[in-house]
A and B are shown apart, each in its own frame.
Chain A
Amino acid sequence: MERRSRHQLFRLPDITAMKQQQLPAYQLHFSATMVFSIFFAAGIFCLLMGIFLILSARSIQKVEINYTKTCGNCAKLREDAFNHGKICTCSIPFVLAKSMQGNVFMYYKLYGFYQNLYRYILSRSNSQLLSKDLKAVEDCAPFKMSHTEIPFAPCGAIANSMFNDTIILSYNLNSSIHIQVPMLKTGITWRTDKYVKFKNPGASNLTDKFAGTAKPPYWPKPVYELDPDNPENNGFLNDDFIVWMRTAAFPTFKKLYRRLHRIHYFIEGLPAGNYSFNITYNFPVTKFQGEKSVVLSTLTWSGGSSLFLGLAYTVTGAMTWLASFAMLAIHFMLKQRKASTLQQQSKALKGQS
C-alpha cells in the first residue's frame, strides 16, 4: 500500500520488489546454539547409522577362495593359446564351519583385469546385441570379423574376453557322497538388460539365426551353444554373457555367477560341512599377472559384507560430535571473556565515579 502511494508520488517506472532488490526473503543466519544442535543431531544420527551398518555387515557370511595358485598347472596350460583345445579341471575342497543361512550367491572375482579401458569399453556393437543387424560390427575393432571376413557374433573385445570358467560347487556329505549343490543360472542380470538391451535374432533355432556369423576367436563354442538346455538363457540372452557385458568400474571386480537354488538339503541355505569347487579352468589370467577367485556370500538389505560404509558413518558421527563439543567450548569461553571484560568495564566506571 505504501509502495503504491510512493509510486504515484514520484511517477517512476514500475517499482517492483524484484527490481528494487526488496523481495521478501528469509535471512539464513545460524546462531551458535542452532549450529551446535544441528551438529549434535547429525552426529547422533551418523553414529547410530554406523553401528547399525557395522552390525548388519558382520552378520554376513563369506567364503572367498583364490584358485590362481591352487590350480597352477591349469594356469600354466592356459598361458599358451595353442592349448585351448585341452580341458583342464581343478578341484578345491574347503570346509564350511558354520552354515550359511538364507540366499547364497556365488561370484567370480578377477584381479588386475581392466574392464574399464577406454578402447575396451567401446568395443561392442549395440545394434548387433539387439539383433537389429547381426553384421553391424563397425564399433568392434579389433575383433570385428575373422580372417575370412565373417563378422563375429558377438563382436568386440568385451564379448571376446568373456569369463568362461565353469565352477561347480559340490557338497561332500562324506568321502564318497558328493552332492552337486543346485545353482540357478538365471536372475543374475538386470531385468532391463535381459529384456531390453539384449535380444536374440529369433526365439528358436538359434543355430540358423546366427548363420553367417563366426564365434569370437577366444570362445570355445559359438554363442548359440552357451546354454543349450535353456533356450531362454541362450544366445545373446545368456545371463553370464549379459553380466560380463556390463563392464566393471575397477580392475579388481566381482561378478555374480550363480544363485543357490534352495531345495532339498539347501532349503535353509548351505549347511555346514565339507565342500569343494570343481572348476573347469579356461580363463587365462596369469598372462596379465592377474588372479581369480570364487566367492560365496550371503547378503543383507544393505548388500555385501563391506564394513566401509558403517565405519565411515561411525567416524563421521564421532567427528561431528567432537566438533560440536569444541564449538560449545569455544562459545562458552568467548561468553565468559565477554562477561569478564564487561565486569572490568563496570569496575572501571565505578572507579571513575
Chain B
Amino acid sequence: MDCSRLRTLVHRYCAGEENWVDSRTIYVGHREPPPGAEAYIPQRYPDNRIVSSKYTFWNFIPKNLFEQFRRIANFYFLIIFLVQLIIDTPTSPVTSGLPLFFVITVTAIKQGYEDWLRHKADNAMNQCPVHFIQHSKLVRKQSRKLRVGDIVMVKEDETFPCDLIFLSSNRADGTCHVTTASLDGESSHKTHYAVQDTKGFRTEEEIGGLQATIECEQPQPDLYKFVGRINIYSDLSDPVVRPLGSENLLLRGATLKNTERVFGVAIYTGMETKMALNYQSKSQKRSAVEKSMNVFLIVYLCILVSKALVNTVLKYVWQSEPFRDEPWYNQKTQSERQRNLFLRAFTDFLAFMVLFNYIIPVSMYVTVEMQKFLGSYFITWDEDMFDEETGEGPLVNTSDLNEELGQVEYVFTDKTGTLTENNMEFKECCIEGHVYVPHVICNGQVLPDSSGIDMIDSSPSVSGREREELFFRALCLCHTVQVKDDDDVDGPRKSPDSGKSCVYISSSPDEVALVEGVQRLGFTFLRLKDNYMELLNRESDVERFELLEILSFDSVRRRMSVIVKSATGDIYLFCKGADSSIFPRVVEGKVEQIRARVERNAVEGLRTLCVAYKKLNPEEYEGVGKLLQAAKVALQDREKKLAEAYEQIERDLILLGATAVEDRLQEKAADTIEALQKAGIKVWVLTGDKMETAAATCYACKLFRRSTQLLELTTKKLEEQSLHDVLFELSKTVLRHSGSLTRDHFSGLSTDGQDYGLIIDGAALSLVLKPREEGSSGNYRELFLEICRNCSAVLCCRMAPLQKAQIVKLIKFSKEHPITLAIGDGANDVSMILEAHVGIGVIGKEGRQAARNSDYAIPKFKHLKKMLLVHGHFYYIRIAELVQYFFYKNVCFIFPQFLYQFFCGFSQQTLYDTAYLTLYNITFTSLPILLYSLMEQHVSADALKRDPVLYRDIAKNALLRWRVFIYWTFLGVFDALVFFFGAYFMFENTTVTSNGQIFGNWTFGTLVFTVMVFTVTLKLALDTHYWTWVNHFVIWGSLLFYVVFSLLWGGIIWPFLSYQRMYYVFLHMLCSGPAWLAVVLLVTVGLLPDVLKKVLCRQLWPTATERIQKSAAHKAPVSAAPSDRPLLKDLLPRPRRR
C-alpha cells in the first residue's frame, strides 16, 4: 500500500510522458473505490471547455498577422514595402503599402469575424446548463465546469455535454435512442445500452451511491470504436467486471431521443471528446492552376531580380565615366560621396527591385481569391442542379478547386447510392432452389395476402415447407432493423396490430428491403422489446424469440448473425451474408441450385444475400456465450479477438436460401457516364459489391458496352495462374491493339476498334500493390497501370474503403500525374474523397458524411455532368485567362519602366506618376478582368453540355502551358516596346503641339500609360466572347474612369501633395493632335499581332471549341462530335468504302 502510494507520488511529480498511459481510470462520481481494490494512477483531465476559436482578444493582431505573413506572397510584399520605407526609393511606399494594407485588413476582418462567431458558439456551448449529481442531489452548473467522473443527467432532446458512459435510463430495458445527425449526419435513431448492472438505478440517490471505476482507452477520434471496462463494487461480493463498448458510449454532440432521461458518467471532456477530436481541419488541396500560377510567379520573380541586377550593373558601368557619375548640374551631397561603393550598389539593387516590383501584383491574389469565392456561388445557384424530390441543392465546401473541375481526367465513382439509387426493393428469394417472387408493387399497391407468392418451381414438400418458414423467420430475425415507434412521443396514435404500417429504420437499406419483402410474404417483424423479438406469422400469431446475441455486421466478414431462443426453447443461429462468405461455411443444403440462382441474379445486377442457420444445443450455446464474453471483455485487441470468436461460431451452417434485392440505377446515370467518356475522362467504378452485380451495373450504365472485351484480374483467375503470368498476358492482349487503336480510342468513340474493360477485385489489387521482397515492387504496379491506361473502363469490386483511397492514390501519383475526381455518397467513400484531387459527395441516403468531407456536394450523380462539362470548363477558361492576363498586363506596365532606365542614366526615375503606379492594378484595369473571370462564356452552356468533346480542348492544363504563357509574356513585351518606342520616337526632338510648347517627362509617361490602359483593356475586350451589359459597363466604364480620373488628378492642385507634377499634364496632352494620333496608332499596333494570330489560328487550326463558336455564329447548331478534326481528315485522302 505504501509502496503504491509512493509510486503515485512519484508519478504525480514526474511530469511528461509517464503520465501518458494507455488507459485511463475514472472513479464514477469521484467516489474512491473501497480499500483493497487496485490503486490507480490519478491523471489530470481537461475541463469540459470547447475551444474552436483560434484567437483571443489579446493575441488576435500578432497571431493573425503572423499567420498572414506566413503566406509567401504576403511576405514578399511586406519585404518590398519595408525596403521602400527604409531606403530612398523612387516610388512612394504608399504604392505598395496601400494595396497590401487593404488585403491584410480585409483578410483580418474576415478572419476576426469568423473567429468572433466561433467564440460566440463556444461560449453558448460552454455556458449551457447541465444537470449533474453531487452528493446524491441534482445540481445545475455550466457545461464547461463539468469534470471527468461527474455523473450527468440528460433529458430528452438535449445533446450530451461530453462523452458519457451510459449508466441507466428511465426505460425498463436500459436502452435509449440517440441521433447523431450533427456528428456523422445519420438521422436514424440508434439504440444504446446501459451497463447491465446499473440499469436499474433510477433515482439520484441510487446513482449517487454507485461505487465503481471505469477503465478505458485514452481518447481517440474514431466515432464508432470504444473499449473499456467497468468495475462495480458492492459491499458484499467481489467487484463485478463488465465490458464496455461503443454501444455503451453516448457521444458529445448526439441528441437523446424517445427517452425521458438518462444518467451517465463523464469519461472524456472538452477537447478530448470524440467530437472535438474530429474537428480535424481537412488538408489543403491545391489546384493545378494554382500550382502553375506559382511556377509563373517564380519565373517572374527571376525576371524581376535579373532586371534589377542588369540595371544595377549597367548603372555602374555607365557611371564609370566621372562626368556621368556626377555632372556639374547634379552634384552629390557630402554623405552620398562618402558612402561605401558596395552599400551603394546594394541600395541601388533594392531600389530597382522596388521600382519593378509591380510586375508581381498584390491585386492578382486578391482578384483570384475574389473570383474563386464569388464564382463558386454559380454552382450553388444553379437551378439545374437542384433536386426537386429532396429539395437539396449543390454545396460548395471549398472554392479553391473550382477550376480543377475542368481538368478532371479520372473519375472514381462509388456504385451503391451514387450510380444506383440505393433504393432497395426485394425482388425474389430462393429457398432450396424454389424461387419465390413476392407480389410486386402493382400500381403502387401491395397485395397483402399470402397467396401473393408465385411458386415457380413445383410446390415444396412438407419438410420444404418447414424450411421455407424457417427461412422467412430467419429473415425476420437476423437484422438490426428498428421499428420507428412513435408511441413514446404520442401514445394515442399507436396501432399495435396494424403491422404493415410499421416504418422500419436501419443504417442499411438492404435490411429494410428484406424485412419489408418478407412482410409481403407473410411474416412481419413487429418490434424488439426487452430483448424479445416479436413477429407476426402467416396465421397472424405473434411469435416471440429471445435475442441472445448479435454478431454484428462488418465489411471484412461480410455477414452477420443472431442467436435467438424460440418459445419452445430451441436455440438457433441465423446467419446472413454475401455468398462468398457463406458458402465456405455451409455443410448442408442445396448449395449448387442456390449458387446457380445467386449467380444468375448477380448477373442481372441484383444484390444477393445468402441465409443459413444452425441449431445450437444449450451446451454449445454456453460455449459460444463464454467465447463471446471473453472476447468482449478484452481491453486490448478486442476487435481481433471478436473476429476470431465470430469465425469459430459461424461455421457448420445449413444453407437455407438466398435473396435478391434490386438497386435501381440513378436517373441519367448512363447518359452522364457516356458524356464523361466522350469528354475524355476515364471512369472507374469502385465498389464493395461483388463482381457479377457490379459488372451488371456497369453494363446498365453503359460503362461497359456489348463490344467491350472484359479482362479479369480476380482472385479466381489468380488461383489458376500466378499474378506475374496474368499481368503479362493481359498487357500483351491490350498492347497488341493499342498501336492501331490509339487514335480512335483517344476520341472515346471507338466504334470499330476493340475496347477493353478491366475488372479487378480487392484481393488481387492488394497483391498487385504489395511490394515484392526483391524490392522491385514498382514492376507490377507499372504493368498494372499500363493495362489500366489502355482500358476504356475499369471496375474494381470487393473494395475496402481504404483500398478505394489506395487506388486513387496509385493513379494520382502515376507518371502522368492525372487529375482525379472521386464521387461517392457513403462513409466508406470518405477516404477516397479526401484522397482525390477533387472530392464530390452525393447527398444521399447513407448519411451526409461524404457530403461533409467533400469539396463539393451534389444531390444526384447526373449533376456531375453539368458540374464538370459546364461549370468546370467555364471556371477553367476564366481563371486561366485571369492568370495569363494579369501577367500580361503587368509586363506591359513595367517593361516600359525598365526601358526608361536606359534613357535616364539608370537613376531609377519612374516613368509614371505615383497615382498611376498605385491605381493601375487596383482600379484602371482590375474590374474588367474580374468581371470577365466571373461571366465569360466562350461557348454557350448548352453547347458544352451537348458536345462533351469540347472538354478535351482544355485538358492537361492546356491554357496554362509554357507555350501559352510565353506567348502572353512576349505579347506583353512586344506591346511594351510598341508603347515605349512609339512614344519615344514621337517625342524625340520634335514638337508635338501647334503652339510650339514642349512637353516634359511626365507627359511622356502619361502618354505611354494612356496607350497602355487602352490597349490592355481593349485586349480583354477582344478576348471577351460573352458581352452582357455588365461587361459593357465595366470595360467602357473603366476606360471612362481612367480619363475622368486623369482629368481630375491633373485638374486640381491637391493640397495634400508636396509636388504638383501632374498638374494639367493630361489635359495638355489631349490638346495635342499628334498625341491623339499616337494613341490610336499605338493601340492598333499593340493589338494587331494578337488579332492576326487569333484569326489565322482560327482559320488554319481551329479547335473544336472554335468550330462550335463559328457554327453558333451562323445560327446553325451543328454538333462537333462527329466531325472531330475534320481538317486532318480533309487533308488526307479518304479511303474508299466497299
Nearest residue (CB) in A for B1099 is A330
**Residue in contact with A249 in the complex, picked from B378, B1001, B1130, CB distance below 8 Å:** B1001
Instruction: Check B1109 for interface membership: any CB of A closer than 8 A.
Output: yes
Using A113-B329, A287-B323, A287-B328 as known contacts, say yes or no to A309 and B991 having CB atoms under 8 A apart. Answer: no
Which chain A residue has the least Cβ–Cβ distance from B937?
A: A21
What residues on A are CB-neighbors of B1058 within 8 Å?
126-127, 139
- Contact mask B134-145 → A, CB, 8 Å, 1/0? 000000000000
B1026 within 8 A of A: yes
Is A288 in contact with B327, judged by CB distance below 8 angstroms? yes
Do A303 and B935 have beta carbons less than 8 Å apart? no
Contact of B982 among A19, A243, A312 (CB under 8 A): A312
Of all chain A residues, the one with the shortest Cβ separation from B1071 is: A190
Q: Cβ of A26: which chain B residues have Cβ within 8 Å of it?
A: 1027
User: Which of the residues B391, B986, B1026 comes within 8 Å of A309, measured between beta carbons?
Assistant: B986
| B328–A259 CB distance below 8 A | no
A304 and B992 form a contact (CB under 8 A): yes
Contact A252 to B1068, CB < 8 A, known contacts A15-B383, A288-B323, A316-B1081: no
Determine if B1096 and A327 form an interchain contact, defined as CB atoms under 8 angstroms apart: yes
Q: Give the shortest distance, in Å, between A61 (CB) and chain B (any CB).
A: 14
User: Which residues of chain A are within 8 angstroms of B1024 by Cβ–Cβ distance?
Assistant: 28
Q: Shortest beta-carbon distance, A253 to chain B, in Å?
A: 7
Q: Report the Cα distance A185→B1066, complex, angstroms.
A: 26
* Contacts known (A109-B989, A248-B1001); A327 close to B1074, Cβ less than 8 A: no
Q: B1056 at the A/B interface (Cβ < 8 Å)?
A: no
Q: A331 contacts B1000, CB within 8 Å?
A: no
B998 adjacent to A243 (CB under 8 Å): yes
Interface of A (DSSP majority class): mixed
Q: Is B722 an interface residue (CB 8 A)?
A: no
Which residues in B have their C-beta under 8 angstroms from that of A289?
323
With both beta carbons as reference points, the residue of chain A lying nearest to B909 in the complex is identified as: A118
Known contacts A19-B378, A344-B1134: does B1099 contact A25 (CB below 8 Å)? Answer: no
Contact A303 B1072 (CB under 8 A): yes
Q: Is the CB of B1134 within 8 A of A345?
A: yes
Q: Which of B213-221, B277-285, B899-907 contacts A (4 or more CB under 8 A)?
A: B899-907
Within 8 Å by CB of B904, from A117, A252, A301, A305, lies: A117
Instruction: List A316-353 residues whose CB lies under 8 Å from chain B.
Output: 316, 319-320, 323, 327, 330-331, 334, 337-338, 341, 344-345, 348, 351-352
* Complex: A152 Cα to B1072 Cα, angstroms: 36
Q: How far is the CA of A6 from the CA of B1079 in the complex (A)?
A: 51
- How many Å from the CB of A64 to the closest CB on chain B? 9
Assess whether A256 is interfacial by the CB under 8 Å rule: yes
| Pick from A109, A127, A246, A302: contact of B1073, CB under 8 Å | A302
Q: Does B1004 contact A (CB under 8 A)?
A: yes
Question: Whole-angstrom distance between the alpha carbons of A308 and B989 in the complex?
Answer: 11
Contacts of A123 in B (CB 8 A): 330
Q: How far is the CA of A288 from the CA of B321 in the complex (A)?
A: 10
B965 close to A (CB within 8 Å): no
A176 adjacent to chain B (CB < 8 Å):
no
Complex interface bits, A1-19 against B, C-beta within 8 A gives 1, otherwise 0: 0000010001111010001
Residues of B within 8 A of A25 (CB): 937, 1026-1028, 1031
When C-beta atoms are compared, the residue in chain B nearest to A316 turns out to be: B1085
Whether A12 touches B383, Cβ cut-off 8 Å, given contacts A53-B1077, A299-B994, A303-B1072, is: yes
B981-1019, CB under 8 A of A: which get 1 and which 0? 010111111111111111111011100000000000000
B346 at the interface (CB under 8 A from A): no
B333 contacts A28, C-beta separation under 8 Å: no
Q: How far is the CB of A81 from chain B (nearest CB, A)?
A: 8
Q: Which of B992, B1004, B1081, B1096 has the most CB of A within 10 A?
A: B1081
- Closest B residue to A123 by beta carbon equals B330
Interchain CB contact under 8 A, A306 and B988: yes
**Does B328 lie within 8 Å of A10, measured CB to CB?**
no
Cβ < 8 Å to B, chain A residues 132-165: 139, 141-143, 157, 160-161
| A201 in contact (CB, < 8 A) | no
Q: Which of A22-51 contact B (CB under 8 A)?
A: 22-32, 35, 42, 46, 49
Asked if B329 contacts A327 (CB within 8 A), the reply is no
User: Which residue of A is nearest B89, CB measured?
Assistant: A118
- Tell me, in angstroms, the Cα distance from A246 to B905 when the chains sit together: 18
Which B residue's beta carbon lies closest to that of A284?
B328
**B1119 interface hit (Cβ, 8 Å):** no
Q: Which residue of B lies closest to A340 (CB)?
A: B1130
Contacts A20-B382, A334-B1099 given; does A161 touch B329 at CB 8 Å: yes
What CA separation (Å) do A185 and B153 show in the bound complex?
101
A319 to B904, CA, bound (A): 33
Cα A36 to Cα B991 with chains together (Å): 36
| Set of chain A residues within 8 Å of B994, measured between Cβ atoms | 299-303
Contacts of B388 in A (CB 8 A): 10
A255 within 8 A of partner (CB): yes
Residues of B within 8 A of A29 (CB): 1025, 1109-1110, 1112-1113
How many chain B residues touch the partner (CB < 8 A)? 92
Interchain CB contact under 8 A, B331 and A116: no
Asked if A68 is an interface residue, CB under 8 A from chain B, the answer is no
CB closest chain-B residue, reference A32: B1099
Could you tell me the distance in whole angstroms from the C-beta of A126 to the nearest C-beta in chain B?
A: 6
Closest to B904 in A: A116
Interface residue? A103 (CB, 8 A): yes
CB distance from A14 to the nearest CB of B (A): 9
User: CB of B789 within 8 A of chain A?
Assistant: no
Binding site for A on B (CB under 8 A): 90, 323-324, 327-333, 377-378, 381-383, 386, 388, 391, 393, 874, 903-905, 907-909, 935, 937, 940-941, 982, 984-1001, 1003-1005, 1024-1031, 1053, 1058-1060, 1063-1064, 1068, 1072-1074, 1077-1078, 1081, 1084-1085, 1088, 1091-1092, 1095-1096, 1099-1100, 1109-1110, 1112-1113, 1130-1131, 1134, 1136-1138
Closest-by-CB residue of B relative to A103 is B996
CA distance A352 to B997 in the complex (A): 81
Cα of A117 to Cα of B986 in the assembled complex, Å: 21
| Contact between chains at B1000 and A12 (CB < 8 Å) | no
Given the known inter-chain contacts A27-B1026, A303-B991, please indicate yes or no for A117 contacting B907, CB distance below 8 A. yes
Across the interface, A338 reaches (CB within 8 A) one of B381, B1060, B1130, B1136, namely B1130
> Measured between C-beta atoms, what is the minimum distance from A115 to chain B in Å?
8
Apart from A28-B1024, A253-B998: 12 A-B pairs, beta carbons within 8 A: A27-B940, A35-B1091, A127-B1058, A188-B996, A192-B1063, A249-B1005, A251-B904, A288-B329, A300-B994, A302-B992, A306-B990, A316-B1084
Q: A250-B984, A287-B327 are in contact. Are A116 and B1113 (CB under 8 A)?
A: no
Name 16 interchain pairs, CB-CB below 8 A, sorted by A: A6-B383, A13-B393, A53-B1077, A116-B903, A160-B329, A197-B1063, A249-B1005, A250-B987, A250-B988, A253-B989, A299-B994, A301-B994, A308-B985, A309-B1077, A334-B1099, A337-B1131
The 4 closest A-B pairs by CB, nearest first: A161-B329, A304-B990, A29-B1113, A306-B990
A105 contacts chain B at the CB level, 8 A cutoff:
yes
| Contact of B1077 with A49 in the complex, beta carbons under 8 Å | yes
Residue contact A249 to B997, C-beta cutoff 8 Å: no
Q: Are A21 and B998 in contact (CB under 8 A)?
A: no
Are the C-beta atoms of B997 and A188 separated by less than 8 Å?
A: yes
- Say yes or no: is A275 at the interface (Cβ < 8 Å to chain B): no
Q: Does A313 contact B (CB under 8 A)?
A: yes
Measured in the bound complex, the distance between the Cα atoms of B988 and A305 in whole Å is: 11
Chain B contacts for A114, CB-based, 8 A: 327, 330, 904-905, 907
Interface centre among B997, B1027, B1073, B1078 (most CB of A within 10 A): B997
Complex interface: chain B residues within 8 A of A15 (CB) = 383
A189 within 8 Å of B (CB atoms): yes
Q: How far is the CA of A43 from the CA of B149 in the complex (A)?
A: 90
The minimal Cβ–Cβ distance linking A146 to chain B, given in whole angstroms, is: 14
Contacts of A256 in B (CB 8 A): 991, 996-998
B998 touches A157 (CB 8 A): no
Check if A255 sits within 8 Å of B993, measured CB to CB: no
Contacts of A348 in B (CB 8 A): 1134, 1136-1137
A91 contacts B by Cβ under 8 Å: no
